[in-house]
Each structure stands twice: as structure tokens, then as C-alpha cells.
Chains A and B, each alone.
Chain A
Amino acid sequence: MRPNRRYKWVFTFAGEKEGLLDVTLEEGHKDLKFIKDSKLCSLIIATLVDTEVYDPFAPHSEIEGVVHSVLLAPSTLQRVFSRVEQDITNGKTRVIPAFSYENRETNEVSHCFAFMDRVVTTADKNYHREEWAMALSK
């Protein structure tokens, strides 16, 4: 079970040198590892999309199904993951789309967690938000 597959991150990387074009790739794309490890481009936008609406073949300027869009200082994408929290005492599970990134200028590592009504960017890798009703996942 990975119940939040309805929501997915789409990342936009900007070329660090003149002549390099921006690249937009979705979570799970086979080239994402190569791009995120490249020194030639920086992560500048992370967009959470609803895959029931999102069209992966649309140009970035026309992304549909956007739930959240996060503008970032030029950064290195470190990890894309889902944070799962299971409440054993009442059987509820929520899945929080997340990613970690490092600011290229300050080298600070931050973690971005997406909820229905907001995106939380924090240095606290254990960030927890109590309100179950606001989770994106079912």
C-alpha cells in the first residue's frame, strides 16, 4: 500500500551556465537521479501535482493539477520520499509527500512536507503535524 500515489512531486532545475535550459522532471523519472546529482543545474521549483489532473507531457508553464508550488533558492535535491505515520492506537495512517534539499549557497539542509492546506519547510527532519484532517492522503 502506498496510498498517496495520487500526489507526486515535479521538480524544475535551472541550468547553472548560460545556454543550459531548464529541466522539469517528475518524481520517479529515470533521469531524476542524474539531474539531481549534476553540478550543472540547481533545483529552483518543486511542484506537487494531483496525478488525476496532471499531464506529464504539458510544458511546465501549463502544468495542471498543481496542489502546491514551492520556489527555492538554488539548491541540490537530496531525497524524495513519503513520510508515513501510522497511529497504532486508532489504526489511522497518513502519508506525507516530502523531499529534502540543500541550499547551494548556505549548505543548509531543509525538509519540505506537503499537507492539504500548506507546505512546511523546516530543518526539523522529524517535523510532525497533529491534525489528521489536513493530511493529503486518505
Chain B
Amino acid sequence: MSATIRIYDYAANVGVDITDVDSIVFRTTNADSTNQDLSVGSLIIPLSGTAYSYEKVLRMHVDWSVGATEKVSNLQAFCLSSAADTTGVGFSVGTAEEWAAPIATDSQKATLNFLAKDTRDPILLTPADQKYGLGAGDHIQIADLGAIGDFIVLQMDVLSTATVGDFQNTYGFLRFYIRYDIEEN
């Protein structure tokens, strides 16, 4: 009688459940970054210009239990970070209605500053006035697949002025949240 939102990585056109991974890893050599090994495909600080990671394409899935009687609505994503100065490093975010293969050049989908998409200005993944559930009713029935809302597209870029190291230990913590509401039918 319940629903859970799970996070899927869409490096390919079939999502892989990454709900339980420790972190989201950006890579330059392989679009599939569900591997948590940080030594594989790290971003290299360029001598000039900008180095881009592969786009990270995520989508939420609703995991319904048998007989679920709840509705999910207001699906959002936002970021919290303690990094005051991120000179040389950028995180971009955007949404897409359709899946496309991740690219490792300047993304045309991830165009917003992810660090600015905080709790007061979240990324809206579903229309605020629509509710999703199973069966008939005043809500929108979702497909058996369970995918819900737009794709989230993330990309990391590095300039020559970046500081060597992983982001968290160099600049400050960065947390990525999914937020949604659940209510009874």
C-alpha cells in the first residue's frame, strides 16, 4: 500500500537503478558512471578551454507495492552545497522530455547552474497540479514501467583554473535531493 521513488541512470535508453549508490560520478571516458571507482575516467584540468564530462541522465521511477492507494505529486530536484567559491568548476543541470544519448561536449540541455537550483528554486520534474498513481481516479495513471517526470540532465565542466581534487574535499559538500509529496487517494 505504498510507493517509493527510485533513481535510475539512463546512460543507455534503458534505466539502471542507482538508488543505492554512494554518489553520482561524472566521467570523461564513459557515459556509464554507475561504477563508483573514482580512478576511471576522471575529468582532466585542461591547459586552456573547457573540459566536459559526459552528461549524466537521470529519471525517477515510482516503485509501487501491490494495492498501492497513494498518489505522488510535486516531484522536484534541488541542490545544497557549502561551496562558496567554485572557481574553475561548474555543474550544469536541465531537463528533457525525451531521452538522448549522453554527450561529452557542451550540453544543450544542462544549461542552468546546478548550485543555484536550491530548495527555494528547485528543478520541477512534474507539473505541480498533477498527481500520479495507479488505477482510475482524479490522478494520472502512470505506466507499468513506473517512470515519472522529465529526465534530469547533469554535466560537470572544468576550466584551467580549477583546483585538483574531488569536489567535496576541495570546494565543499554538494548534495543532490529529490523531493516529492505522497498522499492518500
Given A91-B22, A128-B119, residue A82 in contact with residue B174 (CB < 8 A): no
Contacts of B109 on A, CB cut-off 8 Å?
none
Given A2-B2, A126-B122, residue A84 in contact with residue B179 (CB < 8 A): yes
Indicate if the CB atoms of B181 and A88 lie closer than 8 Å: no
Q: What are the interface flags for B148-185 relative to A under an 8 Å C-beta threshold, 1 for contact and 0 otherwise?
A: 00000000000000000000000000111111111110
Main secondary structure of the interface of A (DSSP, over half): loop
Given A83-B181, A84-B181, A126-B120, residue A1 in contact with residue B2 (CB < 8 A): yes
Indicate if the CB atoms of B120 and A86 lie closer than 8 Å: no
Contacts of A87 on B, CB cut-off 8 Å?
175-177
Indicate if the CB atoms of B178 and A2 lie closer than 8 Å: no
Indicate if the CB atoms of B182 and A81 lie closer than 8 Å: yes
A-B contact count (CB 8 A): 68
Given A91-B22, A126-B76, residue A2 in contact with residue B179 (CB < 8 A): no
Q: What are the interface flags for A69-88 relative to B under an 8 Å C-beta threshold, 1 for contact and 0 otherwise?
A: 00000000001111111111
Indicate if the CB atoms of B175 and A80 lie closer than 8 Å: no
Q: What are the interface flags for A1-32 relative to B under an 8 Å C-beta threshold, 1 for contact and 0 otherwise?
A: 11000000000000000000000000110000
Number of A residues with CB within 8 Å of any CB on chain B: 23
Which of the residues A79, A81, A88, A124 comes within 8 Å of B177, measured between beta carbons? A88
Question: Which residues of B are interface residues toward A (Cβ below 8 A)?
Answer: 1-5, 7, 19-20, 22-24, 70, 73, 76, 78, 80, 119-120, 122, 174-184
